[in-house]
Each structure stands twice: as structure tokens, then as C-alpha cells.
Amino acid sequence: MSVLAMSDHTEVTPHSFGLAVRQTVAMAKRSTLEIFRQPALVAPSMIFPIFFAALGASSFGKTTDLPGFPKVDSFLQFSIAATVVQGVLFGSVTGAAALATDIQNGFFDRLLLSPTTRTGILIGRLAGSAIFGALQAAFFIAVLWPFGGTIESGLIGIAIMVVSGGIVALAIGALMSSVAIRTGSAEAVQGAFPLLFVLLFFSSAFFPRETMTGAYRKIADFNPISHLVEGMRELVLSGYTTSALMKAILIPTAVCIASILFAQTELRRRLAAK
């Protein structure tokens, strides 16, 4: 019996469960270190969102007086949530691109032949993206705070936004990992990424839905990114509410679960083809 078959039919025991957890943690540590050892990949996802936030604050500062615009101290305060989501979207592709590289150089196939849980391999790889996403959210909040990017919900709101950033990164990382598993190409992952930014710009990330009209408003109404950003924005502008918590946590969690299931389906399809 092959190692692969043995790993697929092994009885689940407390010992095997503990081993699976340790394997997942080891993979998570590897993926996290791999991200931070590549500053050329990390730096753009940290710098460009801050640059866009500063550019937006200087260019659109007067728009806060428009009818329908929420009461804010500044456009910078309004754009904190968008900066967090934009930055996390930038960074979340890194893990999926690394997974595609593992597939290209054969390391991923060696992992599949080892007595390791398939879910552990996938979650371990995505864990690095989730940790990086949470750190990005904390970084953006810390950098923008001295310039007027205050958060009315205080520490609890900051904690929710940081957790939300990690979940968003995990969700998008799983979605992009599906592309990596299907194609085995880092270029394909990078090529699919602009579609996420189309969704971001067709949302209420940069302007409130109350100021929109026509097809743009209708797309923003159905765009889940709109509701995610608005949940974070409510924490920033109005303080802690159950509604804000639901939008900031439950929406990315639902997308995350669907994305991981889709990635697992792609992984099973890849295994069946071998």
C-alpha cells in the first residue's frame, strides 16, 4: 500500500490528531517565515495603501461636505477601512503565489506523498497569509492614527479590524490558492488578482453608497466588499455596534469557509488526476 493510500485511510486517534496539528503548525511557520524573508513582495503591500490613503486625503478632502456623506473628522478617517482592505488584498496573493511555486518545483507533490493531512497542508500554507493580513491591518491603523485616522470604537474596534484583516487574507488566499492548485502557475495567480481590485473599486470602499447613482450604486449594493468595508467604517466613525461586528467578521468568515471548501475541491481534483 502506498504512503498516499495509508495517509488517506488512517484511523483518526488523539495521537494522529495531535500529529496533524503539529504538522499544520510547522507548515504555518514555514509559510509565515517565507513571506517575511521576501521584503520585495512585502513592501509594496505595506507602502502603496498608505500612499493611496494620503493621495485620497489630499485630493478628496472637500468631498466630505457632499450631501449623504457621513459625519467624519477628515477624509483620511473615512478611508481607514478601505486602506486596511486594500492592503490585505495586496498581501493575500503572496501565499497563493508561493503555493504555485511549490507546485512548480515539485515540493507540493512531495508533501502530498507524505503522511500529512491534506487540510493541514492547505491551512498551513494559508496561515502565513492570515497572520500577515492581521499584521497589515494593525500597521495601517498605527500609521494613520497620528494623522487624524482615529477609531471611535477604541481598542475593541482595533482588535475587530485586525481579526477581520486576518480572516479576509485567509479567504482571499484560499480563493487564489484554488487558482494555484488548478493551474500550478504563479503567473496565473498574479493574472487573476486584478479581478479582486475591480470588485474593490466597484464597492463603497472609497465613497459612501449614499453618494452613488445608477449601475455603480447597484453593483456596490450587491458587492460583499461594500458591506465588509462599511462594517469596519462603522467601527471607525460611530463606535462599537453589533451590526459593525457582524459585517466585519461574519462576511469575511462566510467567504473564507466557501473559499477553503473550493480550494479543497481543487486539491481533491488534483489528487484524483494523478
Model confidence pLDDT, tens digit, residues 227-248? 999 999 999 999 899 999 999 9
Q: How far apart are CA 251 and CA 109, in angstroms?
A: 33
C-alpha cell at 151: 477609531
Among candidates 89, 71, 208, which has minimal Cα distance to 140? 89
Q: How confident is the model at residue 273 (pLDDT cuts 50, 70, 90)?
A: confident
**Does residue 28 have a pLDDT over 70?**
yes
pTM passes above 0.75: yes
CA distances from 35 to 11, 155, 181 (A): 34, 27, 19
Share of the chain above pLDDT 70, in %: 92
Domain count, the chain: 1
The domain in which residue 53 lies consists of 3-272
pLDDT value for 16: 63
Residues 238 and 152 sit within 8 Å (Cβ to Cβ): yes
163, 164, 165, 171: CA torsion to nearest 10: 110
Write the Ramachandran bin of 72: left for phi over 0, alpha for psi from -120 to 50, otherwise beta: beta
- What does the pLDDT look like over 30-87, one tens digit per residue? 777 777 777 777 788 889 999 999 998 888 888 888 888 888 888 999 999 999 999 9
Among candidates 208, 266, 254, which has minimal Cα distance to 71? 208
